[in-house]
Amino acid sequence: MEEKLILFKNRKRFGIEKNIDIIFKNTALVLSSFVAIILLGIILVVFFKSFESFSRYGLKFLVTSEWNPVKDEYGAFTAIYGTLVTSFLSLLITIPLGVGTAIFITEDFVPKVCREIIGSFVELLAAIPSVVLGLWAIFVIEPFLRDFFVFLHSFFGWIPLFSTEPTGRNSLLAILILVVMLLPIVTSIARDSFNQVPKKLRNAAYGIGASRWKTIFSVILPAALSGIMAGVLLALGRAMGETMAVTMIIGNSNAFSWSLLSPGYTISSMLANQFGEADGSQVSSLFYAAFVLMILSLVVNIFAQWLVKKFSLKY
Amino acid sequence: MNSLYYQKRLSRNIGDKFFTCLSVICALIATLPLIFLVTYILIKGGSQITPELFNLEPNPPGDDLDAGGINPALVGTLIITSIASIIAIPVGVGGGIYLAEYSKGGAFSRFIRFGVNVLAGVPSIIAGVFIYALIVSTKILFGSMYSGFAGGIALSILMLPTVIKTTDEGLKLVPNDLRYASLGVGASMYTTILKVTIPSAFRSIATGVVLGIARAAGETAPLIFTALFSYYYITGFGDLFYEMGSLAVLIYNFALEPYDAQNKLAWAASFILVLSILSVNIFARILAAFNEKTKRV
C-alpha cells in the first residue's frame, strides 16, 4: 500500500510539462483571435483611409456619378449601380438554373454515377480561377455572343436595358460570366439542403398520391428553402465582391447608362483598375468605394449566417 | 379499372414530364461551361507549351514577334503561395485547435466562428486594399513598396478562414472516446492534441488545406496592387521585397494586351494554372471518396 502511494506521487506531472500545456493553450487562443484582429483591422483601416473623402463628399458620393481626378470630383454611383445590377441580375438567372440542377442531382432520373459526375463537374467549376474565366470571356464568349447582342439590340432596343449599340465588352457579358461563377455555389448549397430534407416527408407525400413534382414543389422545396436562401445570399456576397472576371469583361466605363449592352463599372473593377496608379484624394475616394463594397458584402454575409442559424436544425 | 394504369395524357403526368425535362436542361446547361472552358484551354493553351516557356522571361509587350516564357511568373506564384501558406497554416491550424479542443462554446468561440465566416465572405480585392494600406503604402517592409512578400500576406488573409474551418471541422469529427482514453492514461492536453487528435484528423485537415492552397494560387485580385508584376527572373532571396510576377496577374495583364503573342502567353499560363488546380482538386476528391469507403468497412 505504502509503495503504491509513493509510485503515485512520483508520477506527478512535472512543472515544466504543466507550463508547456498552458503555453500551448494560450498560443492557440492567441492564434484564434487573429481572425477577429484581422477582421477589425480591415474594417478600421479601410474606414480611416476613406475618412478624408467621406468628410468631403458625405453621402453625396453614393448618388453622383462624376469621377474626375483632374477636377477632383468623385462620386461612385455608376460603380455602385453596376455592382448591384450585375449581382442581382446574375443571381436572377443563377437561382432557377442552380436549383434545377440541384433537383436533378438529388432526384433519381438517371443512375447515381451520372448524377455524381454532373455534381462534381459543377463543383470543379468553382475551382477555376476567375482570371481564367475572364480570359475565356474575352476571347471566346464575347465573339461568340456578338451577333446575339446585335440581334437583341435591334429587336428589343426600345427597352432601356438594351438601348445602346453593342460594342464589344459590356455589362451583360459580366452578368453571364457571374452566372458561371455563382452556379457552383447555389447548386452545391441547394443540393445539400435537399439532401437534408428527411426521406419521411417525401414518402408521406408520395403515399397520399402526390406526383413527383407536386412533392418537390409543395414539400421538398419549402423544407429546403431556408438553406437555399442562405446559399443565395452567400452567392450574392460573392457576386458583389467578384473582381477579375468582371473587370476584364465589363468594359470599365464610368459613363452612366441604363443599358446592359453598354460598358459598365463595378466597385471592385474600379478598385482593380485605378488603385495601382491613383494618388492624392483619388486614393481616399477609392477607399471610400472599397468601404461601401465591404459594408454591402458584410451585411449580406451576416444576414446569410443569421438565416442559417435561425432556420437550421428544423428537422 | 383504367385508373390503375399510368395515364400519359393526365395533366399531372404531363406537368411532371415538363418539369423533368426542365431540370435535365438545367443540369446540361450547368455542365457546359466547364466542358467548353477546359477543352478550349487544353487546345489553345496546350499548343503553346514548349520548353522555352518554362525557361524564359516574358518580353515586354510592344512588338508581335516573340512573347518569351513565363518562368518568373511560375516561380513567383510558387513563392507567393508558399509565403501565404507559411503564414496561414500555423495560424489557422492553431486557431482551429483552440476552437475545436479548448473552447466550450462560449461567447468568445462563437464570435470567432462568426468572424471566420465573415472573413471568408470578405471580397478578395478588399484584402488587397487592406494590405496596400497597411504594408505597401507605409513601406513598412524594409522600405519596399510593392513586393512578393506583401502579396503573400494578402493571400494568407484569404486562406486563413479556409484553414481554420477545415481544422475545426476535422477535429470535431474525431470521436471523444479517443480524447478520454488519452487523458485517462495520464497524457496532458497538448500531448493528447498533438499525438492523438491531430494525427487522426490529419487526412481531412490536409485535404482542406491543400484545396485552400490551390484556391489561393489562382487568386488575382489581392495581388494586382500588392505584388504587382515583374518581367525579370527571380534570382535571390532579396527579390522577395521587390515587385513579383505571378501566373494569375500575368494572365490578367496579358489578356488585356492588344498583341497576339502576349494573348497566347496568357493562354499558356492559364493552361498550367488550370491543369494544376484541377488535378489537385480531383486528387483531393478521390482521396476523400477513398477515405469514406475505408471508414465504412
How far does the CA of residue A66 sit from the closest CA of chain B (Å)? Answer: 22
> In sequence order, what are the residues at sequence separation of 6 or more whose Cβ sits closer than 8 angstroms to the Cβ of residue B78?
none
* Residue in A101, A127, A293 closest to B214 by CB: A127
Show the cell assigned to B61: 509587350
Residues on chain B touching A274 (C-beta within 8 angstroms): none
* Residue in A27, A132, A243 closest to B270 by CB: A132
Taking 50 as the threshold, does the pLDDT of residue B297 lie above it?
no
Confidence class for position B1, pLDDT limits 50, 70, 90: low
CB contact under 8 Å between A35 and B117, yes or no, is no
Mutate one of A244, A279, A288, A301 to test the B interface: name it (highest B CB count within 10 A): A244
> In sequence order, what are the residues at sequence separation of 6 or more whose Cβ sits closer than 8 angstroms to the Cβ of residue A9?
none
Taking 50 as the threshold, does the pLDDT of residue B296 lie above it?
no
* Residue in A39, A107, A293 closest to B118 by CB: A39
Residues on chain B touching A293 (C-beta within 8 angstroms): 123, 125-126
Choice among A300-314, B32-46, B140-154 with the minimum mean pLDDT: A300-314
* Residue in B98, B109, B270 closest to A31 by CB: B98
* Residue in B91, B188, B221 closest to A31 by CB: B91
Position A163 scores a pLDDT of: 77
CB contact under 8 Å between A29 and B98, yes or no, is yes
CB contact under 8 Å between B218 and A38, yes or no, is no
Q: What is the pTM of this model?
A: 0.90
Q: What ipTM was assigned to the predicted interfaces of this complex?
A: 0.90
Position A105 scores a pLDDT of: 92
Residues on chain A touching B215 (C-beta within 8 angstroms): 127
CB contact under 8 Å between B118 and A135, yes or no, is no
CB contact under 8 Å between A271 and B267, yes or no, is no
Burial of B279 (0-12, 13-18, 19+ CB in 10 A): exposed
* Residue in B96, B98, B277 closest to A127 by CB: B277
CB contact under 8 Å between B129 and A290, yes or no, is yes
How far does the CA of residue A312 sit from the closest CA of chain B (Å)? Answer: 16
DSSP string of A140-172? Answer: IIHHHHHHHHHHHHHHHTTSGGG-S---SS-HH
- Over its length of 315 residues, how does chain A's per-residue pLDDT go in tens digits? 455 555 555 566 677 888 888 899 999 999 999 999 999 999 999 999 888 888 888 888 888 888 887 777 888 888 999 999 999 999 999 999 999 999 999 988 888 888 888 888 888 999 999 999 999 999 999 989 888 888 888 888 788 778 777 777 888 999 999 999 999 999 999 999 999 889 999 999 999 988 889 999 999 998 898 889 888 999 999 999 888 999 999 988 888 888 888 888 899 999 988 887 777 788 888 999 999 999 999 999 998 888 877 776 555
Selection from A8-12, B126-130, B186-190, B283-287 with the highest mean pLDDT: B126-130
Residues on chain B touching A298 (C-beta within 8 angstroms): 118, 121-122
Residues on chain A touching B23 (C-beta within 8 angstroms): 100-101, 103-104, 107, 109
How far does the CA of residue B235 sit from the closest CA of chain A (Å)? Answer: 25
Distance between CA atoms of B284 and B287, rounded to whole angstroms?
5
